Amino acid sequence: MSNLGEQSLTQFTDKLLSKKIFTCAVCENLLNIPIILIQNIGNVCNECCQKNNWEGLPNPALEMILNELKIPCKFQITGCKERMIFENLREHENNCKFHEKPCLMAHEGCEWKGIQNNFPGHFIDFHSEHVLTNQYGLFAIDMNIEEAVNITKLLKGKQECIIKIKRDVQDDILLYTICDVKNIECNYECFIKHMGKNGNCVETQCKVSSLNNINTTHVNLTALRQMTEASDVITIQIKICTSCESKEFDEKILHYFECPVCKTLMKPPIYQCKFGHSFCSNCRPKLEKCPNCRALFGTTRNYSLEGLTASISYSCMYHHLGCEETLSVNESDKHEAVCPFKPYPCPLDECSFRGTHSTIGDHLDQQHKDKVIAADFYKTTVEFRLEQMIDFYNYQQKFYMVFDENIFRLSFKRNSDYSFWAVEVLRKKDEDSVFIYDIGIIDMRKPDRKLIRCDLCFTDTNCEDLFKKCILFPNNILASYACNGMFTYYCQIRKRQ
């Protein structure tokens, strides 16, 4: 029955499209949202409406119907069979492998147009003089960098890639574009070596992109001439390798990045003693003398080693626990903060449980239900008598708030003069997220009367500093909100937009 319903909906959609119900009355393309109804013209897309400075009425009914339908890709005529809801259609069509595109030799007069899968065959048949073949993925191209450079080559090795090299005379740079001609998702890297006189060279590394998501790498020609001592002709050596081959290279190099103290991989900033022994930024403050040569430390950094970190991939620091991710130095810290294999001890002092990013939330919910609030809002009433504050000196409570895979600790502390509230982020679903917490004091005699303050949630803050920067209220002010020796407060946690 569901197949019949799906078939009927497809037929209904095709019928509406054939009657041009969802076609812009001006450009005759598929309408996009918002749909504008123009008197004496009909439904038009937002682009046409703005282009003609028209004023019309919104058509929400048509928008709602459009959002419910599965629209066929506009490239179905060239072979695409995909149908999808409207909000995903444009992204698919931008990356559709059945999208006809002109030949990359159009600048030389080629008028061919076709889909991505047919491009390598066309290039080999009609532009064979521009095809370089090497089973190991190693290629060489001679180039005069003082002339108007516009080179396009098909590189046939383990993969098939197009390389375009163009000289920008105005900015005096070389522009490299390297893309896989078959795959939408690429996992290759390209190492380009510019060879000049006396063996001098300049190396550049770039990712191989897809034809739908082309990236360009810039090389400064002035610096290139100086480094290679070349005034005209240089040889460009190109090596294309998969990430697996690159990983083997990285593993050999990473041995030199191991901190001799903690045995973890060093990342910028990297410090060294006066004899060149390097140490990570975590160990350096703990050392008075170099453990290798006993020399005193200064503030010298190993910038050469730091510069190399941008060219290699780091294994996740939790690889021994099962994580197989390898990332650039800029990405590794973000990943490791939320790595699913990262060990998480239970935040309750009396509990010895150690879990992972995915299990710690379930542990808190199952074993510590009385101290866990499964929401971003918590409201409670506590005892409060100003004349008895001396008896509550350093009184403290802790609660744990869990929502959307994020874990927070709410700490409430009171002494004779002040009441303090602090919220710490113990686990984030997304490392880039920043959270804010609101503390509201409610006068239960007049619920509309509230005292509210907000602040950023804490991360990686020690116990001594926690209550030095948090939200606090003087107890003599809280007394005016108390009723029958009790006062009510709430905590609301929200993501900063």
Question: Average pLDDT over the chain, rounded to whole?
Answer: 80
| Mean pLDDT calculated for residue range 356-376 | 80
Is there a single domain that holds both residue 276 and residue 198? no
Q: Are 488 and 388 in contact (CB under 8 A)?
A: no
| pLDDT for 391 | 47
* 48 pLDDT above the threshold of 70: yes
Is there a single domain that holds both residue 108 and residue 185? yes
Is there a single domain that holds both residue 411 and residue 312? no
CATH number of the domain encompassing residue 23: 3.30.40
Task: Express each pLDDT in 375-425 by its tens digit.
Answer: 889 888 887 766 655 444 456 788 888 888 788 989 888 888 888 999 998
Is there a single domain that holds both residue 272 and residue 327? yes
**Domain-embedded: residue 187:** yes
| pLDDT for 4 | 38
Q: What burial class does residue 238 get, using C-beta atoms within 10 Å of its C-beta: 0-12 exposed, 13-18 middle, 19+ buried?
A: buried
Is there a single domain that holds both residue 237 and residue 268? no
| pTM flag (> 0.85) | no
Is there a single domain that holds both residue 309 and residue 375? no
* 89 pLDDT above the threshold of 70: yes
Task: Express each pLDDT in 55-81 by its tens digit.
Answer: 888 888 888 888 888 889 988 888 899
Range of the domain at 419: 354-495
CATH number of the domain encompassing residue 328: 3.30.40.10
| pLDDT for 123 | 86
| pLDDT for 489 | 92
Residue 55: left if φ>0, alpha if ψ -120 to 50, beta else—which one? Answer: beta
Is there a single domain that holds both residue 383 and residue 449? yes
Task: Express each pLDDT in 437-493 by its tens digit.
Answer: 999 999 888 888 889 999 999 887 777 778 888 999 998 888 888 888 888 999 999
| pLDDT for 252 | 60
**Domain-embedded: residue 409:** yes
Among 212, 245, 278, the domain boundary falls at 245
Which percentage of the chain shows pLDDT scores above 90?
Answer: 5
**pLDDT confidence tier of residue 288, bands split at 50, 70 and 90:** confident
Is there a single domain that holds both residue 240 and residue 262? no
Is there a single domain that holds both residue 490 and residue 359? yes
* 276 pLDDT above the threshold of 50: yes
Task: Express each pLDDT in 193-235 by its tens digit.
Answer: 777 665 566 777 777 777 667 778 888 887 777 766 766 777 7
**pLDDT confidence tier of residue 142, bands split at 50, 70 and 90:** confident
* 254 pLDDT above the threshold of 90: no
Among 271, 302, 337, the domain boundary falls at 337
| pLDDT for 362 | 78
**Domain-embedded: residue 348:** no
Is there a single domain that holds both residue 312 and residue 421? no
| pLDDT for 455 | 92
| pLDDT for 392 | 47
Task: Express each pLDDT in 255-264 by its tens digit.
Answer: 778 888 888 8
**Domain-embedded: residue 93:** no
Cα separation, 279 vs 281, in Å, equals: 7
Q: Are 162 and 179 in contact (CB under 8 A)?
A: yes
**Domain-embedded: residue 87:** no
| pLDDT for 264 | 81
| pLDDT for 387 | 60
* 341 pLDDT above the threshold of 60: yes
Is there a single domain that holds both residue 300 and residue 423? no
* 3 pLDDT above the threshold of 60: no
CATH number of the domain encompassing residue 235: 2.60.210.10
Task: Express each pLDDT in 291-315 by its tens digit.
Answer: 888 888 777 888 877 777 776 777 7
**pLDDT confidence tier of residue 249, bands split at 50, 70 and 90:** low
CB atoms within 10 A of CB 497: 5
Instruction: Say which residues have a Cβ less than 8 Å from residue 321's Cβ, sequence separation at least 6.
Output: 341, 343
| pLDDT for 6 | 54
Among 186, 214, 245, the domain boundary falls at 245
Structural domain total, the chain: 4
Residue type, 24: C
